[in-house]
Structure 1
Amino acid sequence: MTKTVILAIDGVFDTGLAAFQDTLATASELAEPNEGASFSATVLSVRRGVRTAHGLTIPTKRALSSSKPDLVLVPALGAKTDEALTRALRNPDIDGAKNLLRTWHAQGATIAAACTGTFVLAETGLLDGKSATTSWWLASFFRSRYPQVALENDRTLVRTERLVTAGAVLAHFDLALWFIRQHSPSLAAVTARYLMLDPRSPQATYAIPDHVRHADEAVHAFESWARANLENGFSLEDAARFVGVSARTLSRKIHAVLGRSPLAYHQDLRVERASYLLSTTQLSVDEIAVQTGYVNAATLRTLLRRKTGRTASELRRINELKASD
Structure 2
Amino acid sequence: MRISVLALEGVFDTGLAVTLDALRAANSLSARTMGGSPRFDVSIVGVRRKVSSGQGFTIPVQAITPDLKPDWVIVPALSTTTPDQLVPALGRSDVVQAMAQLVRWRAGGAFIAASCIGTFVLAEAGLLDHREATTTWSLAPLFRQRYPNVLLDESRMLVATEVGVTAGAAMGHLDLALWLIRKASPDLATVVSRYLLADIRSSQAPYIIPNHLAQADPLIQRFEQWSRQHLKSGFSLQEAANALATSPRSLQRRCQEVLGKSPLAYFQDLRVERAQSLLHGSGLDIDAIAAEVGYVDGATLRSLLRQRLGRGVRELRADLR
Aligned residue number for residue 79 of structure 1: 80
Are the counterparts in 1 of residues 3 and 40 from structure 2 also a CA contact under 8 Å?
A: yes
- Mapped partners of 2:214, 2:140: distance in 1: 8
Structure 1 letter corresponding to 2:84: E
Deviation at 1:216, TM superposition (A): 2.4
- Residue by residue over 1:89-127, the C-alpha shift from the partner in whole angstroms, topping out at 9 and shown as x without a partner, is 232211110110000000000000000000011110111
Distance 1:163 1:49, change over 3 A: same
Where in structure 1 do 4 or more consecutive aligned residues deviate above 6 Å?
Answer: none
Matches within 5 A, 1:241-252: 241-252=242-253
Structure 2 letter corresponding to 1:244: A
Aligned residue number for residue 298 of structure 1: 299
Deviation at 1:308, TM superposition (A): 2.8
Are the counterparts in 1 of residues 214 and 224 from structure 2 also a CA contact under 8 Å?
A: no
Residue 232 of structure 2 corresponds to residue 253 of structure 1: no
Residue 235 of structure 2 corresponds to residue 237 of structure 1: no
Q: How many residues align?
A: 319
Structure 1, gaps ≥5 residues long: none
Matches within 5 A, 1:273-284: 273-284=274-285
Deviation at 1:309, TM superposition (A): 3.3
Q: What is the DSSP-based 3-state SS (H/G/I as helix, E as strand, rest coil) of the residue aligned with 1:67?
A: coil
Residue 167 of structure 2 corresponds to residue 166 of structure 1: yes
Are the counterparts in 2 of residues 21 and 40 from structure 1 also a CA contact under 8 Å?
A: no
Deviation at 1:287, TM superposition (A): 1.5
Q: Which moved more, 1:197-206 or 1:139-148?
A: 197-206
Report sequence identity in percent.
50
Aligned residue number for residue 91 of structure 1: 92
Are the counterparts in 2 of residues 65 and 103 from structure 1 also a CA contact under 8 Å?
A: no
Aligned residue number for residue 153 of structure 1: 154
Q: Which moved more, 1:204-213 or 1:180-189?
A: 204-213
Q: Which moved more, 1:57-66 or 1:13-22?
A: 57-66
Residue 20 of structure 2 corresponds to residue 21 of structure 1: yes
Structure 2, gaps ≥5 residues long: none
Are the counterparts in 2 of residues 68 and 109 from structure 1 also a CA contact under 8 Å?
A: yes
Q: What is the DSSP-based 3-state SS (H/G/I as helix, E as strand, rest coil) of the residue aligned with 1:5?
A: strand
Aligned residue number for residue 36 of structure 1: 37
Residue 228 of structure 2 corresponds to residue 224 of structure 1: no
Aligned residue number for residue 62 of structure 2: 61
Q: Which moved more, 1:258-267 or 1:80-89?
A: 80-89
Deviation at 1:306, TM superposition (A): 2.5
CA RMSD of aligned residues (A): 1.6
- Mapped partners of 1:45, 1:210: distance in 2: 37
TM-score normalised by the chain length of structure 2 = 0.95
Q: What is the DSSP-based 3-state SS (H/G/I as helix, E as strand, rest coil) of the residue aligned with 1:16?
A: helix
Deviation at 1:213, TM superposition (A): 5.5
Aligned residue number for residue 130 of structure 1: 131
Deviation at 1:71, TM superposition (A): 0.4
- Mapped partners of 1:314, 1:160: distance in 2: 32
Deviation at 1:166, TM superposition (A): 0.3
- Mapped partners of 1:260, 1:213: distance in 2: 12
TM-score normalised by the chain length of structure 1 = 0.94
Structure 2 letter corresponding to 1:54: Q
Deviation at 1:284, TM superposition (A): 2.0
